[in-house]
Amino acid sequence: MLKAGSVKEMIQQKKKATSSTSVIEKAVPVLLFTAAFISVLTTIGIVFTLIIETILFFRQVSIAEFFSGTVLRPLSRVEPQYSILPLIMGTMMTTIIAMLVAIPVGLTTAVYLSEYASTGARKVLKPMIEVLAGIPTIVYGFFAFTFVTPVLREVIPGLASTNALSPGLVMGIMIIPMVASLSEDAMSSVPNAMREGALAMGCTKFEVTFRVVIPAAISGIIASFVLGISRAIGETMIVTIASGSTKNFTFDVTQSMQTMTAYIVEVTSGDAAAGTTIYYSLYAVAMTLFVFTLTMNMLARYISRRFREVY
């Protein structure tokens, strides 16, 4: 039999424990909301700053000149010109080259890991591939400038020392883990029953992979492509080091070209005084880059929701 005193003590201890738990339960939502609010507030602050500074730029330079001109000479003392098209061209050319490398290599790697590799091989190969994602981008940049470019110049004699081809290829290598990992996850989520059903109907392993698994995982695969494109558009250090700072509006990938991110680095590390037109131009370029990456991310989300298969 329990004594009355001991029962009373147990009730008091239970009340104290309940009180402490109640305080924690009330504090956790507040902390989580604060963290989420800080993230949202930071995003709003960044967008607000970009919009305000971009408006100040367009008070000095017309929107038509900025988006339709083909000459970018912000440091010219005679007649400075501000057109973003050379930067967009440089960004698009390096991005296209990168995706021409990352998409086929990343997708075939994902197919092998998901459908053909043994469990032991997958455990070894997948972490090795993902190590590429952990290499600092500045290391990739120096690799492109000091190794890839000299090798390419042996094959392409007219290749400039800084060009769009070399950083594009290296960016493609850098993006391979993203495409491969996301695509492999999408294919691995396809139920084995679908594979077994196709095999039972007489399909080969190749037919099961390309007629059943890939179509079933197409939303995740395409989303990985779009996110890879977004990653390539926003890359900074590789193109800053290896693509040069020549603001050419050209389709020739063997020539030096400058991307939007590289231009931002050039202006922020140069002698652009606050309040000058060239100073405000970096915000206009940053705003354009923000719109590009936001569009890519929204497109990836739309594709994932539009073509998502639920099993």
Residue 2's pLDDT band, with cuts at 50, 70 and 90, is very low
Q: What is the pLDDT of residue 166?
A: 92
Please say whether the beta carbons of 82 and 72 come within 8 A: yes
- pLDDT (tens digit per residue) in 137-169: 899 999 999 999 999 998 888 888 889 999 999
pLDDT of 16 over the 90 cut: no
Nearest to 229 by CA among 184, 178, 302, 273: 178
Max Cα–Cα distance, the chain, nearest Å: 100
**Amino acid identity for residue 274 in this structure:** A
Q: What is the pLDDT of residue 235?
A: 87
Indicate the domain borders of the chain. Answer: 18-59, 85-306
More confident residue, 272 or 93: 93
Ramachandran angles phi, psi of 71, nearest 5°: -120, 130
- pLDDT (tens digit per residue) in 76-119: 777 888 889 999 999 999 999 999 999 999 999 999 988 888 88
213 alpha carbon, distance to own chain's centre:
25
Q: Which residues contact 304 (CB under 8 A, 6 or more apart)?
A: 219, 220, 223
Mean pLDDT on 297-311: 72
25-29, 94-98, 183-187, 262-266, range with the lowest pLDDT: 25-29
Q: What is the pLDDT of residue 295?
A: 86
22 to 8, 33, 213: CA distances (angstroms): 21, 17, 48
Residue 253's pLDDT band, with cuts at 50, 70 and 90, is confident
Q: What is the pLDDT of residue 179?
A: 92
- pLDDT (tens digit per residue) in 201-220: 888 888 888 888 888 888 88
Residue 129's pLDDT band, with cuts at 50, 70 and 90, is confident
Q: Which CATH class is domain 85-306?
A: mainly alpha
**Distance between the two ends of the chain, CA-based, in angstroms?**
57
Q: What is the pLDDT of residue 175?
A: 93
More confident residue, 298 or 305: 298
pLDDT of 240 over the 50 cut: yes
Residue 307's pLDDT band, with cuts at 50, 70 and 90, is low
CB atoms within 10 A of CB 254: 17
217 to 82, 192, 304: CA distances (angstroms): 44, 13, 10
Share of the chain above pLDDT 90, in %: 20
pLDDT of 225 over the 50 cut: yes
| Dist. CA 86–CA 258, nearest whole Å | 7
pLDDT of 62 over the 70 cut: yes
pLDDT of 1 over the 60 cut: no
